[in-house]
Structure 1
Amino acid sequence: MNESIQIDMTIAVADLDILDRYFDPQTLISVLTQPDLKALKESLLEVVEDKDGGPQIGDLRISNWQYDLSKNTGKFRLHFAIDRQFCCSDTQSCVADYVDFSFVKQPDDHLIASATYFNWSVNN
C-alpha cells in the first residue's frame, strides 16, 4: 500500500469559461473523460489501506476554486467520499476526504492539475 500518491490530470476547459465570473468549477468533473475519471478514482483508492467493504470513490465535488489570470495558475479542492458496503451485513459506511490540486492553464484550452494525496487515517 502507498502512503501517498501523486495525481496528475489534464482537463479540457476553455479560457472564456474559467474567466466567466459565473464559472462553476463543478463542471470540471463533468468534462473528465470516463478513463480519466476511472484513473482518478483508482489512484485515490491506492492509498486506502483497509479494503474491507469494497471501498469505492464517489460524491466528487470541487470547492475553494482560485484562478490567477496574470500567472495562468490556480488551485482547487476535490472532495470525495469513500463508500463501503459490507457483504455479510446490511452495514454501509462512508468517509469524506479531500485532496488539494494546483493547476497551470495551458493556451490550448486545457489545464494541467496535480496533487499529492496522503491518507491521514490513524490505524490503532
Structure 2
Amino acid sequence: MFCPQCGKENEAAARFCGHCGATIGECAPESPPGPGRPAVPGEPVRIVDLARAASAVSPGLKWGVIAASVLAPIVGMGMGLYYWMRAESPEKLAVGKTWFFIGLGITAFYLLLGTEQY
C-alpha cells in the first residue's frame, strides 16, 4: 500500500505510514507513482547525471588505493621476513611466516589477475 501523503510504499495491513507517520487508514491500495501518475508535490525529483556520477571519485583517491593495494603485500612480505629472520620467540616466528605467506599469496593473486586480461 502506498501512503497518500508521501507516496512511500508500506505493508498492506499498515494503518500508518512508516516514513512520514500519516494515517493510511482502510483505503484500497494505490498504485505506485509512475508515468501515468504525477509525483507527489512535496517530494523533490532527483535527476542523476551519469557522466558526472562516474567521475565522483577523484584521480588522487584512485591512485592512492592502487598504491596501497600494491604496497601492502610488499610491506607484509618485508615485515614477515624481518620477523622470520629475527624471531626472538616462537610467536614472532609464526607471525613472521604468516605475514610473509599472506603477502606472497596476495602478490600471486594480483599476478594471476593481471595475466587473465590478455
Q: When the two structures are superposed, what TM-score results if normalisation uses the length of structure 2?
A: 0.18
Larger Rg: 2
Higher strand share: 1
With a CA cutoff of 8 Å and minimum separation of 6, indicate the structure with the bigger relative contact order. Answer: 1
Q: When the two structures are superposed, what TM-score results if normalisation uses the length of structure 1?
A: 0.18
Higher helix share: 2
